[in-house]
Amino acid sequence: MPFYERGDVRIRYEEAGSGFPLLVTPGGGLNSRVSNWPTAVFNAMEIFKDEFHCITMDQRNANGGESSGPIPASDPWGAFADDQLGLMDHLGIKQFFFMGYCIGGCFALKLMERAPERVVAGVLVQTVGHHPEHPDYMYNSGRDVWAPELLPRRPDLNMDQVERYLHALYRERPEFVYSVSREFARSCQTPMLVLPDETPAHPLVSSIEVASLCPNAEITVFPWREPPELKARTIDRVRKFLRAHQ
């Protein structure tokens, strides 16, 4: 299992297939890790490796993963983008597609803001965002689920640091998709395809707002996970979208 290292950051990643590069990040919130793919709504690494050079990774400090790094209270979304862009640099990849599940929707828009010349197109699958009826859902999940498992493994960290980190992730910009502003979304020219969901972590309103604000965004029907024939057509639409932007 290969690793990319930069300073005090160590990122585990995997590759499959060949073709135009496609960086795909699994869901799981702050526990976004490679081992989540078998239970994903669809396994992008398996499905698209026949046509694309698929790359995936454990995000830093995901419990059950093998990536590690600081938890910066200053620009934490930018730190994730640095990990992802650094991995692409490590692999010698300049331009790529990005497909993000769950928290990966926030990653996608941050990457488009940070490096618009590198992200050729993006797919946002069931993006995390601010749910008006569950405004602290992601913060509470980080505090109550992620942190209690992380802290025993990291004696260099404490709950006060974790709470500052979670505040910077989810409360400093408590609206939309957390990682970028609506103003950026209105200006973002990157083509993207949005696959919506409706849960406390993946509010439908966030997916609709991304598709409404971003000038070159498309959105699929909702719901799309059932029946199987509709899900298969939705996956085929993702493939056609990626092909169209190679």
- pLDDT digit string (tens) for 150-180? 999 999 999 999 999 999 999 999 889 999 9
Helices (H), 31-124: 44-48, 76-90, 104-114
Does the CA dihedral 104-108-111-115 come out positive or negative? positive
What is the average pLDDT across 116-139? 97
Residue 93 pLDDT: 98
Closest CA to 149 of 61, 72, 74: 61
If you ran DSSP here, which 8-state letter would residue 72 be given? -
What is the average pLDDT across 95-100? 98
**Which residue(s) pair with 119 in the sheet?**
96
Q: What is the CA radius of gyration of the chain?
A: 17
- pLDDT digit string (tens) for 203-244? 999 999 999 999 999 999 999 999 999 999 999 999 999 999
Residue 149 pLDDT: 97
- pLDDT digit string (tens) for 3-60? 999 999 999 999 999 999 999 999 999 999 999 999 999 999 999 999 999 999 999 9
